[in-house]
Structure 1
Amino acid sequence: MKLIAITGGIGAGKSTVSRGLAARGAYVIDADVTARVVLDPATPTGRRVLADIAQALGPHVLQADGSLNRARVAELIFHDEAVRQQYNGIVHPAILSATAAAIDACRESHALVVHEIPLLTADSPALPWRYDLIVTVEADAGERRRRLQRHRGLSAEDAAARVAVQGDEERRIAIADIIVRTDGTLTETDRRVAELWRRLSE
């Protein structure tokens, strides 16, 4: 099995690149999907993690049904670095454990596995697995802000705050084997994904 990391900042186009690779035959492990599973109040793990979050950030970050109020959490963590670090310290270990299990489950059944993981940089802590190749997806900060406003309905202020928090482009590029730019049209991005697929398939 070949394990590929797809990283990049918010709004850069990681999911677009991952979907393009999946359409060509890759198996994708999406960190956002893994996070949603880890935070599912219907599971013992989810209930434990959600209880820890509520204890740290306050009960108002949970919905009436016990699920995470994502909008409220986003308001907190994208405007307060200390709160963001506290939240990540609770959620990230659970995501790492679930991801490691998902990667192990793929070893005998998939030749090419893509792990879509945001914000993998030269400063990231060591992971319990090794990537064969790291790809960072990058786009101009202004374009990323526009995408967040256009596709996610964020205000200009919120979009700017989220892009600013994830501004480690140089530190992502420092560990990347391949850089995929997505500043252009979707057609241009798909052409770059096709080139990436050829390289990964060699």
Structure 2
Amino acid sequence: MSTPWILGLTGGIGSGKSAVAQHFMELGVHLVDADHAARWVVEPGKPALAKIVERFGEQVLQADGTLNRARLRELVFQDEQQRRWLESLLHPLIGQEIAQYLAKAESPYAILVSPLLVESGQHRMTQRVLVVDAPEQLQLQRTMVRDQSSEEQVKAILRVQANREERLRHADDILVNDRDLAWLNSEVERLHHFYLTLRGGQP
């Protein structure tokens, strides 16, 4: 059996990439979420967690021994050097986790979902990139409703994520999600049928 090719799926906050990912899964496509991999590599008992504690002390642990993400985020966001150290520790490990999970795929193609597909360089693990895009005003509205957050908070997140142009520059396929869910699902199905005709992600 030929090895599945890898589709990278990304999109800004509130673009609807989770809904798109969900429907691909319902269609039987093997899917790995980079956010989940990022959590797996720092679970208790994993070497990465021990290294983080060694560097920052017990203050980065919750009472139950799991990583206190909020505390760690505070520490590294104030200090560029610490942030780089953390990224150089975690990015390769996250990459390995993702690769292992993708290797288990039995569908003709597999999907790597990552909000930071472009920024983290994870797009290099894929043969094709699908960007879910939405007008910024719609992203703002959706995210404010979903996360109960203020417009300022959402705008701050939008600024950190790769700008739209940068993301779209890496896209082989763009799905503009500005209608209802039924329409979105039909677009996913259309793409899925197209992807099944591809070898190695290219026509």
Q: Return the TM-score normalized by structure 1.
A: 0.80
State the Cα deviation string for residues 43-64 of structure 1 (Å, max 9, x = none).
x32xx22233345556433211
Q: Distance in 1 between matches of 2:143 and 2:129?
A: 24
1:119 is aligned to: 116
Larger Rg: 2
**Contact 1:122 1:174 (C-alpha < 8 Å) held by counterparts:** no
Deviation larger for 134-143 or 80-89 = 80-89
Q: Distance in 2 between matches of 1:75 and 1:20?
A: 35
| Amino acid aligned to 1:161 | A
**Contact 1:123 1:171 (C-alpha < 8 Å) held by counterparts:** no
1:132 is aligned to: 127
Instruction: Give 1:102 deviation, angstroms.
Output: 1.6
Gaps of 5+ in 2: 198-203
Q: Distance in 2 between matches of 1:60 and 1:146?
A: 36
3-state SS of 1:39 partner:
coil
Gaps of 5+ in 1: none
**Contact 2:123 2:129 (C-alpha < 8 Å) held by counterparts:** no
Instruction: Give 1:185 deviation, angstroms.
Output: 2.2
Matches within 5 A, 1:18-97: 18-41=21-44, 44-45=45-46, 48-56=47-55, 59-73=58-72, 82=80, 84-97=83-96
Q: Does 1:164 align with 2:159?
A: yes
| Amino acid aligned to 1:62 | L
**Contact 2:31 2:102 (C-alpha < 8 Å) held by counterparts:** no
Q: Alignment partner for residue 175 of structure 1, among 160, 170, 173?
A: 170
3-state SS of 2:145 partner:
helix
3-state SS of 1:120 partner:
coil
Q: How many residues align?
A: 193
Q: Does 1:199 align with 2:202?
A: no
2:201 is aligned to: none
**Contact 1:149 1:156 (C-alpha < 8 Å) held by counterparts:** yes
Q: Distance in 1 between matches of 2:53 and 2:137?
A: 34
Q: Distance in 1 between matches of 2:51 and 2:133?
A: 34
Matches within 5 A, 1:96-111: 96-106=95-105, 109-111=106-108
Instruction: Give 1:19 deviation, angstroms.
Output: 0.8
Instruction: Give 1:135 deviation, angstroms.
Output: 0.6
Identity across matched positions, percent: 31
Q: Distance in 2 between matches of 1:90 and 1:189?
A: 37
Instruction: Give 1:188 deviation, angstroms.
Output: 2.6
State the Cα deviation string for residues 13-66 of structure 1 (Å, max 9, x = none).
22211111111121111111212221211xx32xx2223334555643321112
Cα distance, 1:74–1:185 mapped onto 2, change above 3 Å: farther
Q: Distance in 2 between matches of 1:191 and 1:163?
A: 27
